[in-house]
Structure 1
């Protein structure tokens, strides 16, 4: 008897959640499959493949990356790094004895690994140089040919596996977005709590309430790049086009919001601490500012349908709370109170948050 549609839906949701929590699992599985296929592919070849068959699985593992385009790029960079490392070993073996040669290839290989064209594969330059110099010392040419060709063959297998089962890491991306929204909401709640503190916080206490938000903005920037790159050379991309576009839009918005919240926290830490005579908000504005921040935090946190924004009611409450703060600032200005520029900046930041969510 087949399972019910509801049961299948729950199972699919559990699988998606598992992938979101452990995004490296699918990549690890593909790397394992690619390594086995590369190993099997070199068994009938004979020659160097009989002596050094393990380099084929090594190349396959190197090639399996987060996207198909990255897989090709990593393979090319890896082979380039190995070729350069091998060349360094050949020259060192011809010019200096083994012990000084080790020092030379490690020194030059490590320096060369920093070349930007190698990307993350740069570390293979000194590793390849050591392999060729030490393991291949008894038959340098044969070993060199076998090492480069077998690793390249394995990399080709890895690229083929990645192309056949291209990743679409959109579920992990959605989870990153949820985590980022929660981090921003937590910062706003912490700022609201700090504004209600009696007595007011000093500078050090304010700084302790300033979360490290910038990495969230950087993570959202990387997510935008990944969601864009993942569609290149990917036959599954068209099926998930709308989801990917929505994820890019959300990530870009959260990247902007992260910077706004970080600036807001920094502004309050500098201008609202108890050591200042001329504070940004003061007793009259702290309560409406705290309520506005909490309302915006609720809007960020709200559980919502993945196809829609927060409910209009939640948005209206946040907007109304910010406008109450704005009206309070305006009243202070009309009353002739000076030094409300920073308070106006708080209002502007909160309006940006409401408009961007």
Structure 2
């Protein structure tokens, strides 16, 4: 590529990266475009569209979601929620005066909003019921037509826009993976710091060093599901297939690592604290165990920016540190020390981390 064209290409690449890092911007732009297109689409219809055209953009905004599959689902759920709310309003309005009717439609609509099939769109049930009861009281049939039909048409436009420009939210997933790797590394470093303390921490002090990694593990599970969902009804998915597969595999590996690190932290909290007479590691094993944890943490923090050779070196150092700990445990067994089961569990956990990290 010539030097003249390279700056332009670099700027385009930087722009794509910026958009990928901030997916809400493209989504907002698509929602705005879908709203305008939905408004224009209903203008020639006349009738209810002349009086209530703003419901078409509303439906379009509802439909623009994080994935194409989510867009279709949100549209169906949104229209269903609006229909349910309208049904509640029509039924209540036919038999109850306006003032108590307001309370009743809000009560029934809020309860109905919890129906699991409506998902996040359930909140539209009481809103729809209020709109129909109050605004539509003077011309119920026309209003229902405008509200339900026009919102549905707008949702269809939103789905179409999302299908033409489908999102591929992989870069935010990469950032999530990096954040989880850092969280796991920080937990290992904190455990190593406890082992290197001049005085062995008691159980309360260990609990302060025990991070809650479960939210990260749940986030990884959601990431795997999103990586699968993003490829459905998405013409761009084939282009990003390899990267999405790698991301999903990486997320599953981190989910397993999260469980291993959490178990390791729990073992130290229970078995290597100053409140116990017999501890899992003891003075002879704490130093090698801390070194192994720090070496594994360095592998987790490495994102491959310095090349494969540098990463292989870190993995080799971590493997050597874990095997040094294993050798010390084996020496204790040969010396006749029988209470090394928990120390062996630490070795097994660290080996799993090195193999997967």
Q: Give the secondary structure class of the aligned counterpart of 2:231.
A: coil
TM-score (normalizing by structure 2): 0.95
SS in 1 for 2:300: helix
Residue equivalent to 2:122: 122
Aligned residue for 2:100?
100
1:192 paired residue number: 192
Retained in 1: the 8 A contact 2:38–2:154? yes
Q: 1:12 to 1:202 in 2, by over 3 A?
A: farther
Q: Report the CA distance between 1:17 and its aligned residue.
A: 4.3
Matched, 1:278 2:308: no
8 Å CA contact 1:16, 1:171 repeated in 2 = no
State the SS of the aligned residue for 2:45.
coil
For structure 2, the 5+ residue unaligned runs are none
Q: Distance in 1 between matches of 2:319 and 2:196?
A: 21
Q: Distance in 2 between matches of 1:200 and 1:292?
A: 18
CA distance in structure 2 between the partners assigned to 1:187 and 1:15 by the alignment = 35
* Count, aligned residues: 357
1:3 Cα shift? 6.3
Q: How far apart in 2 are the matches of 1:122 and 1:41? A: 27
**Does the C-alpha gap of structure 1 residues 123 and 96 become closer, same or farther in structure 2, counting only changes over 3 Å?**
same
For the structure 1 residues 245 and 279, does the alpha-carbon distance in structure 2 shift closer, same or farther, using more than 3 Å as the test? same
Q: Using structure 1 for the length normalisation, give the TM-score.
A: 0.95
Deviation at 1:309, TM superposition (A): 9.7
Determine helix, strand or coil for the equivalent of 1:43.
helix
**Which segment drifts farther, 317-326 or 333-342?**
333-342
The residue that corresponds to 1:332 in the other structure is 332
**Any conservation in 1 of the 2:21–2:171 contact (CA below 8 Å)?**
no
Aligned counterpart, 1:34: 34
Deviation at 1:228, TM superposition (A): 0.5
Secondary structure at the aligned position of 1:201 is classed as coil
SS in 1 for 2:53: coil
Instruction: Tell me how large the CA RMSD over aligned residues is.
Output: 2.0
- Give the deviation of 1:307 after TM superposition: 10
Structure-2 residue corresponding to 1:177: 177
Separation of aligned partners in 2, 1:346 and 1:163: 50
Q: Which region of structure 1 is more displaced relative to structure 2, 23-32 or 83-92?
A: 23-32
Q: Which residue of 2 aligns with 1:165?
A: 165
The aligned residue for residue 207 of structure 1 is: 207
Distance in 1 (CA, whole Å) between partners of 2:157 and 2:90 is: 27
SS of the counterpart of 1:198? coil
Task: List runs of 5+ in structure 1 lacking aligned partners.
Answer: none
Q: 1:355 deviation in Å?
A: 1.0
TM-superposed deviation, 1:5: 5.9
CA distance in 2, matches of 1:12, 1:346: 49
**SS of residue paired to 1:44:** helix
Corresponding residue number in structure 1 for 2:149: 149
- Are 2:132 and 2:143, in contact at CA under 8 Å, matched by a contact in 1? yes
CA distance in 2, matches of 1:252, 1:236: 23
Instruction: Please give the alpha-carbon distance, in whole angstroms, between the structure 2 residues aligned to 1:215 and 1:12.
Output: 36
Deviation, structure 1 residue 208 = 0.9
Deviation (angstroms), 1:273: 1.6
CA-CA distance at 1:310 after TM superposition: 7.0
Q: Which residue of 2 aligns with 1:229?
A: 229
Which residue of the partner structure matches residue 353 of structure 1? 353
Residue 290 (structure 1) shift: 0.6
Equivalent pair of 1:39/1:56 in contact (CA under 8 Å): yes
Which digits, 9 at most, give the CA deviation of each residue in 1:185-219, with x for residues without a partner? 11111111111011111212111111121111111
Equivalent residue, structure 2, for 1:15: 15
Q: 1:157 to 1:325 in 2, by over 3 A?
A: same
Structure 1 residue 28 displacement after superposition:
1.3
Cα deviation 1:53-91 (Å, max 9, x = unaligned): 111111111100110011001100111111011000000
Render the CA deviation track for 1:34-61: whole Å, top value 9, x for unaligned. 1111122222222211221111111111
